[in-house]
């Protein structure tokens, strides 16, 4: 009897290499964000509907740009949707009433 795995052609060989290890790539992204220049722990990346959703809040637009550059490097070839907010750090213009 022949080996069914050996008979599979390119179309039946499984998911493309970029998609077969998405969880590993997301974990590596989290490690890199925590360890590198950003030290960012408040950003999440999750698989949703076949794409990677990146969410969180960062302290500045520069941090957001750096974060998105790292995301593009780590998740190249994947569909990525980002919802990264920049925290508003301006002083309030009036007192808060309680």
Domain parsing of the chain, residue ranges = 17-86
Extract the tokens encoding 43. 């950003």
Q: Which CATH class is domain 17-86?
A: alpha beta
| pTM recorded for the entire structure | 0.67
User: Could you tell me if 40 and 34 are in contact, meaning their C-beta atoms sit under 8 angstroms apart?
Assistant: yes
The angle that helices 61-74 and 22-35 make with each other, rounded to 10 degrees, is 140
Q: How would you write the pLDDT of the chain (98 residues) with one tens digit per residue?
A: 444 333 333 444 445 554 558 899 999 998 888 887 777 778 899 998 889 999 998 888 898 999 999 999 999 999 999 999 998 777 777 887 88
Classify 96 as helix, strand or coil: coil
Contacts 24+ apart (CB under 8 A), 68-74: 70/29, 70/32, 70/33, 70/36, 70/38, 71/29, 71/45, 74/25, 74/28, 74/29, 74/32
């Amino acid at each position: 009897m022949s080996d069914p795995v050996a008979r599979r052609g390119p179309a039946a060989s499984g998911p493309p290499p970029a998609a077969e290890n998405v969880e590993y790539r997301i974990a590596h992204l989290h490690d890199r964000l925590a360890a590198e220049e950003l030290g960012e722990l408040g950003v999440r990346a999750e698989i949703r509907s076949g794409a990677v959703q990146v969410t969180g809040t960062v302290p500045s637009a520069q941090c957001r740009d750096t974060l998105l550059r790292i995301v593009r490097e780590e998740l190249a070839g994947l569909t990525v949707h980002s919802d990264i907010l920049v925290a508003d750090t301006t002083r309030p213009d009036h007192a808060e009433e309680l």
